Structure 1
């Protein structure tokens, strides 16, 4: 019996020693992972920029004001998320900043729902004019107009908006040298596609576009006209890491991803390594339309952005290299036509949603979906599966009978509002590369590679549920109590 008590006591001391050793090793590994320099040249993490500038009086507040009020980042940061970002910066929690916010999408959704209930009237835009949500250029819904695409566009050259924040920090990206020269034609084509899409609205006057002797009343008819005149039409489903900052520091790109907890566990290589949650940067998904021909050459993209617009847009600013970019699917011919037809339907559906729901703040972002939702829905229609995460749209808003097809597509895709962990195929499919060794976000490449290998072996685990955490916690406490009890019994017997 004494031997049993002694073994229990020794086991308890060994357990404590192992725990202490594990804590040291774990902290060292995590520090090394967090502080690892990016492998991409001319690029720094947000934490490095702020570490260097946090001592400058007033700069932190200036930067936070730029983030909170910016067209892109401001809309995505709910009050609670913004408070977290502020506390990380002011508290100099650089490792936390490099994995901001690190929440599950369910938790993020909760802050949006709370913000909608508490701050809805304060956060929503002052007006809900349709022009605020769909870019129409010179066209209006009230006039019956015709645009002749055989004539050159008069939209002018791209003017990139770059804001100097001081301290060698700027916000905004310059022109893409390959796509910026196409801006005039791309801008007009995007506006024409938007206006053709809105012909579906009840109070819209008829709008037409002509090209090569053919007349189009819908986006897909315009694709027919271009194809009939020998133009090559390609529609690509493209994924990137979302860039929520678009900052530059001392001439370098600044990484500012937005991390989500995938609820998948990164496998450990050694027994003493604790498994951790796989945090992945939020992806940005969009459809890119490339039109190539003897006179008209244009590149147009479609997505629902954090500016509240679900529309065709130009695509001519330079991406920072760390966001990467992957063509998950490419469509030509009849398939390209079908994708454009569906995108026209989504443009009209979101226009109706904006007009019918003025109470939704943040431009409807999160509540009506994120950029992935429409792409997921069309991917499911075109391929029979969807490989994007997250999808956040509350489908009860998609109820107008005039948009029945869009409503059905949105209802069919997986939802990420109920706390259920997403399928691994959606997490990995959202990444902007199929070659995970090329990921340059510090610490992410190894986690993704290890997790994907475990997924292929059928060994990838999900994060434990609440009851599993409770049971594991109780087992841990019981082991400590048993160890202490055994040690005391052993000491008494020695006495």
Structure 2
């Protein structure tokens, strides 16, 4: 009995020692970490501060959530019903601190809330033997494709020739077309970029033409031809080459930004509202994981020349559209911006060719799977996926996170080149720990001190330094290590005690036998 008591006591002492060492090694002040709400740059306010001021306004919380449900369809962040519910609880409960790092989830936690689209993918896209059904290329298919790509008035079922030799006659940029007044001093979307907005007529026409010639690759589409300076183009890459051949300079940028979740302005101030993700890295000197705003990535074409001056972009957005877009609005200062890669000449043409293939592949997805919510955003990838796939082809590496495409959906043999590009990229659907290179590579700046979101710059600097010097600790790995220490210490103690008991018992037995 005494021996058993001693055994239990030993086990408890070892376990207590490990726990005590764990506690001593933690900065418990960080457990109650208060998210900084300053300093803030001029003319800037946090979303939590805006909501704190507006929380007393009757009905405004519901109005804000209703607007988020609608407005986020044109932005780079995804709000599932579960996330909307969580944000609503924060608003009602006045959890301003939680709102400052919303949602703060790992990909493993986020994936189930965003995978609702997978449950709606059924067998009607495939034949009875599992083979891909070839869309008929009929009018219905073309109408479905046109819903997801802005081609303005250019028909898909009729041949069309579009001349770019004369200036665009499209109307100028107007903030009335994009900005919405929610009330109580809150407006949504951003104003005019003083450099890009004046180019809107040319940019919008170039967007329409690039999108239209992209859809030449969709079965049943009549051929659209763009002409400039005597050069004809029926593909996006051919159009870019024609622009170069007629004296235009074309530069393609791989742009990285912090995703602007809300695009809110409050009494004229820019509202910081990112979508935070847990990067599963321990911020040195704390017991906090590194939380980083979700990033946005896109390809951007800067065209300058004798006939056309335009800036256009391409990305797959939460609106479900994988298309060329204008870039007229002025981004809020806190989202920053970085050109991770720059392509000219033949490389610019090749990136454009691959983007054209991506446009066709996503058009095929929309025709085959029109039931996907958000146009397939998340199961077909987010804005980073296509950019990362092309980055891998052009540079041999991927520096973007997260990547969410469900590769089982990329099974159309007509798009095998795109399928192969997507398969070659890392994938975060299983919620594994993201590589630091992709986490830091996704950021919109390499100068972390330029980040103006309160508290983030110091966390990035410290964590990046730890990664570089080899002292980075991953979470929840550190919890696992502590648990392993506890278990191994306890098991070792038990083995030692058992061996001691056996030895002692044998000694007593020999003593009895000898006597």
1:172-183 mapped onto 2 (5 Å cutoff):
172-183=189-200
Residue 438, structure 1, aligned to residue 450, structure 2: yes
Q: Any stretches of 5+ residues in structure 1 without a counterpart? A: 121-126, 269-273, 479-495
Among 197, 205, 215, which residue is 2:222 paired with?
205
Superposed CA deviations along residues 159-189 of structure 1, whole A, max 9, x for unmatched, are: 2221111111111111101000000010010
- 1:307 match: secondary structure: coil
Q: In structure 1, what is the Cα distance between the partners aligned to 2:289 and 2:488?
A: 20
Q: In structure 2, what is the Cα distance between the partners aligned to 1:358 and 1:391?
A: 22
1:285-296 mapped onto 2 (5 Å cutoff):
285-296=297-308
- 1:184 match: secondary structure: helix
Q: In structure 2, what is the Cα distance between the partners aligned to 1:18 and 1:261?
A: 22
Residue 278, structure 1, aligned to residue 290, structure 2: yes
Q: In structure 2, what is the Cα distance between the partners aligned to 1:411 and 1:46?
A: 37
Q: In structure 2, what is the Cα distance between the partners aligned to 1:383 and 1:24?
A: 44
Residue 450, structure 1, aligned to residue 467, structure 2: no
* Structure 2 counterpart of 1:192: 209
Q: In structure 2, what is the Cα distance between the partners aligned to 1:296 and 1:257?
A: 35
| 8 A Cα contact 1:38 1:442, kept in partner | yes
Residue 73 of structure 1: how far off its partner (Å): 5.5
Question: More deviation in 130-139 or 236-245?
Answer: 130-139
Q: In structure 2, what is the Cα distance between the partners aligned to 1:423 and 1:21?
A: 26
Among 379, 393, 413, which residue is 2:425 paired with?
413
TM-score (norm 2): 0.84
Question: More deviation in 79-88 or 424-433?
Answer: 79-88
Q: In structure 1, what is the Cα distance between the partners aligned to 2:239 and 2:75?
A: 34
- 1:278 match: secondary structure: strand
Q: In structure 2, what is the Cα distance between the partners aligned to 1:247 and 1:473?
A: 48
Among 125, 137, 140, which residue is 2:152 paired with?
137
Residue 105 of structure 1: how far off its partner (Å): 1.8
Distance 1:17 1:260, change over 3 A: closer
Distance 1:48 1:225, change over 3 A: same
Residue 48, structure 1, aligned to residue 53, structure 2: no
- 2:471 match: secondary structure: coil
Residue 170, structure 1, aligned to residue 187, structure 2: yes
Q: In structure 2, what is the Cα distance between the partners aligned to 1:189 and 1:162?
A: 23
1:11-22 mapped onto 2 (5 Å cutoff):
none
| 8 A Cα contact 2:75 2:317, kept in partner | no
Superposed CA deviations along residues 221-248 of structure 1, whole A, max 9, x for unmatched, are: 1111111111101000000000010001
Q: In structure 1, what is the Cα distance between the partners aligned to 2:189 and 2:348?
A: 31
| 8 A Cα contact 1:200 1:348, kept in partner | yes
* Structure 1 counterpart of 2:63: 62
Q: In structure 1, what is the Cα distance between the partners aligned to 2:325 and 2:182?
A: 27
* Structure 2 counterpart of 1:124: none
Among 328, 344, 347, which residue is 2:356 paired with?
344
| 8 A Cα contact 1:146 1:208, kept in partner | yes
Residue 251, structure 1, aligned to residue 253, structure 2: no
* Structure 1 counterpart of 2:403: 391
TM-score (norm 1): 0.87
Residue 419 of structure 1: how far off its partner (Å): 1.9
| 8 A Cα contact 1:170 1:249, kept in partner | yes
* Structure 2 counterpart of 1:233: 250
Among 349, 360, 378, which residue is 2:390 paired with?
378
Residue 131 of structure 1: how far off its partner (Å): 2.0
| 8 A Cα contact 1:326 1:433, kept in partner | yes
Distance 1:444 1:384, change over 3 A: same
Among 108, 111, 135, which residue is 1:109 paired with?
111
Distance 1:408 1:118, change over 3 A: closer
Distance 1:108 1:18, change over 3 A: closer
Q: Any stretches of 5+ residues in structure 2 without a counterpart? A: 1-8, 123-140, 491-515
1:294-333 mapped onto 2 (5 Å cutoff):
294-333=306-345
Among 166, 169, 181, which residue is 1:154 paired with?
169
Q: In structure 2, what is the Cα distance between the partners aligned to 1:66 and 1:425?
A: 35
Distance 1:476 1:244, change over 3 A: farther
Among 23, 26, 33, which residue is 2:30 paired with?
26
Larger radius of gyration: 2
Residue 20 of structure 1: how far off its partner (Å): 10
